[in-house]
């Protein structure tokens, strides 16, 4: 059975049945799933979750899904790594990296999409769709394949070939749209309105967004059923940020962890930081921006949940920061070269902002901090490639190696 | 008759302009304000437009020309 009791408007509180609807008919405010928390509290336990599958579906009672068949490509239960090497560099003794680069399509998007795809099929849709520049598109296409649903993915016409390949391999109908970003965005909204498809981040958005809560559940379970003190979350639309915060609250509400309110740290790329800008201006109004950053997966200039992110930051005494493109690259290198994790540009944003906050003395050296790395670096290798040293190029001759190695050792010691 | 839900963002220099009134006057569209907020230096509105598709397109294009930002109520839909 599902413990979801309906959809509720985040602005006016109007309730709706569990249907494919994302905007309140009265005030146009966004809808989210409402649960019967008393019933969940009476029927959930740590032990039951621990016996569950090694996927996000171990938290099914906290998701809007009942007994219907799951569209499951084994997402979740990704590593939470104690980052001692990175922590030492930043002066943080209890730093963890939530490594979500190892999901089936190599980003956290598999979490919301597995929920959205499951709901899409149970609502009776035959077509699943999205508009995306990369991570979401790959995830929707993969889940569409697994669900044996028709899949339509809209991409900008100038998307790089490597990214198109990462989507096309799953066999969706790919539609490349010419035009500037705003025109493409409006067209996709119109198509979503006109065709009776399951657009995961439009008409299924309330369900889709719920999947991101599992990034809080897993972290709490992996820490021994407790919330961290502070988290750093790379942020685009804001749904991930608000849902991670909600996830920790829910665990506390249903009695799985002691009451806790982690300080929520929001990380954006300086070239697309409308939420950070509003926070710094002490304003609750998001001014849309035109993105210009190498962190393409975070390039949302008009974030739907921006206002709610600002509320979460206020309520949790949270933090917000941004990093430039060179700092993003530096963050990617730092993470890879201290912890052995190759995160995409969004990971560079998280680590870059974490570093800035640590250097500014905003983080307690002994508090438990979790930094979320949400996508795999192999998706955006070009972002960091030019910042890396060239390999030593030699012929198969030991003398040549000796000389080249000695020169390199002087320039950049490899061995201690 | 088609309906479209949009979000208008008004920069500082346009907060005092009767953009929605002019939109209904210049084009064959019914404008219906459903929510919004005006602060000191900016403002936004949720607006429902009803009319023929082409006329709605023209009304939106005109609003953009005046300097108002027009988005779907969902915000940015193209995700990373």
Query: pLDDT tens digits, residue range A204-260?
Result: 999 999 999 999 999 999 999 999 999 999 999 999 999 999 999 999 999 999 998
A-chain CB neighbours of B78 within 8 Å are 131-133, 154, 156, 181, 184-185, 188, 300
B42 three-class SS = coil
Domain membership of residue B54 (yes or no) is: yes
Torsion-angle region of A207 (φ positive above 0: left; ψ -120 to 50: alpha; else: beta): alpha
Q: In sequence order, which residues have a C-beta less than 8 Å from that of residue A282 and are 6 or more positions away?
A: none
**Interface residues from chain B to A (CB-CB < 8 Å):** 4-5, 9, 34-35, 37, 39, 42, 44, 46, 48, 60, 69-80
Asked if A365 is an interface residue toward chain B (Cβ–Cβ < 8 A), one would say: no
Q: What domains can you pick out in chain A, each with its CATH number? A: 80-106+213-385 (3.40.50.1100)
Q: What is the ipTM of this complex?
A: 0.87
B-chain CB neighbours of A202 within 8 Å are 74, 77
Total-model pTM = 0.94
Instruction: Find the closest chain A residue to B39 by CA distance.
Output: A285
Give the tens place of pLDDT for each residue, A41-61: 999 999 999 999 999 999 999
Q: Do A288 and B71 touch (CB under 8 A)?
A: yes
Q: Which residue has the tokens 């915060």?
A: A245
Asked if A167 is an interface residue toward chain B (Cβ–Cβ < 8 A), one would say: no
**Which domain range does residue B22 map to?**
2-72
pLDDT of residue A415: 46
Number of domains in chain B: 1
Domain membership of residue B78 (yes or no) is: no
A-chain CB neighbours of B42 within 8 Å are 285, 287
How many angstroms separate the CA atoms of A68 and A378, rounded?
Answer: 34
Domain membership of residue B80 (yes or no) is: no
Residue A269's Cβ-side half-sphere holds a number of Cα atoms within 13 Å equal to 28
Which of B4, B39, B71 minimises the CB distance to A302? B71
**Sites in chain A below the pLDDT cut of 70:** 413-416
User: Are the C-beta atoms of residues A129 and A155 closer than 8 Å to each other?
Assistant: no
pLDDT of residue A18: 97
CATH number of the domain that residue B11 is part of = 3.30.70.260
Are β-strands A319-323 and B29-38 bridged in parallel, bridged antiparallel, or unpaired?
A: unpaired
Measured in angstroms, the CA of A394 and the nearest CA of chain B are apart by 41
Domain membership of residue B10 (yes or no) is: yes
pLDDT of residue B3: 92
B50 three-class SS = strand
């Amino acid at each position: 059975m599902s413990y979801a009791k309906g959809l509720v408007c985040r602005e006016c509180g109007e309730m709706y049945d569990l249907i494919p609807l994302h905007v309140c008919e009265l005030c146009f405010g966004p809808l989210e799933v409402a649960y019967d928390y008393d019933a969940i509290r009476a029927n959930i336990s740590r032990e039951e979750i621990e016996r569950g599958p090694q996927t996000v579906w171990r938290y099914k009672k906290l998701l809007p899904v009942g007994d219907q068949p799951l569209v499951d490509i084994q997402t979740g239960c990704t590593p939470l790594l104690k980052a001692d090497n990175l922590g030492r560099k930043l002066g943080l003794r209890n730093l963890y990296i939530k490594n979500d680069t190892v999901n089936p399509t190599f980003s956290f998007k598999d979490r919301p999409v597995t929920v959205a795809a499951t709901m899409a099929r149970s609502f009776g849709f035959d077509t699943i769709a999205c508009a995306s520049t990369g991570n979401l598109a790959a995830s929707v296409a993969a889940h569409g394949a697994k669900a044996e649903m028709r899949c339509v993915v809209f991409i900008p016409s100038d998307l790089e070939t490597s990214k198109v390949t990462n989507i096309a391999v799953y066999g969706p109908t790919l539609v490349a749209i010419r035009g500037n970003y705003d025109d493409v965005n409006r067209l996709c909204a119109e198509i979503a309105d006109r065709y009776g498809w399951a657009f995961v981040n439009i008409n299924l958005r309330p369900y889709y967004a719920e999947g991101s809560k599992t990034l809080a559940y897993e972290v709490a379970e992996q820490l021994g059923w407790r919330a961290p003190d502070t988290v750093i979350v790379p942020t685009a639309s804001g749904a991930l940020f608000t849902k991670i915060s909600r996830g920790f609250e829910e665990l506390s509400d249903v009695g799985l962890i002691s009451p806790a309110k982690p300080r929520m740290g929001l990380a954006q790329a300086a070239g697309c930081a409308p939420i950070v800008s509003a926070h710094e201006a002490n304003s609750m109004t998001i001014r849309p921006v035109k993105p210009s950053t190498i962190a393409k997966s975070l390039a949302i200039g008009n974030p739907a949940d921006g206002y709610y992110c600002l509320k979460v930051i206020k309520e949790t005494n949270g933090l917000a920061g941004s990093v430039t493109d060179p700092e993003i690259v530096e963050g990617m290198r730092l993470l890879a070269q201290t912890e052995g994790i190759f995160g995409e540009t969004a990971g560079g944003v998280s680590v870059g902002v974490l570093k800035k906050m640590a250097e500014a003395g905003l983080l307690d050296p002994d508090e438990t901090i979790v930094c979320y790395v949400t996508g795999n670096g192999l998706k955006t290798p070009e972002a960091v490639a030019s910042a890396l040293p060239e390999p030593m190029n030699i012929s198969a001759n030991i003398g040549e190696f000796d000389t080249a190695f000695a020169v390199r050792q002087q320039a950049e010691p490899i061995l201690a | 008759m088609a309906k479209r839900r949009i979000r208008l963002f008004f920069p500082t220099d346009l907060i005092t302009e009767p953009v929605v009134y002019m939109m209904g006057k210049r084009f064959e569209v019914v404008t219906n304000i459903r929510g919004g907020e005006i602060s000191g230096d900016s403002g936004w509105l949720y607006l429902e437009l009803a009319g023929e598709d082409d006329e709605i397109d023209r009304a939106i294009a005109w609003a953009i020309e005046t300097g108002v930002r027009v988005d779907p109520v969902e915000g940015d839909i193209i995700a990373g």
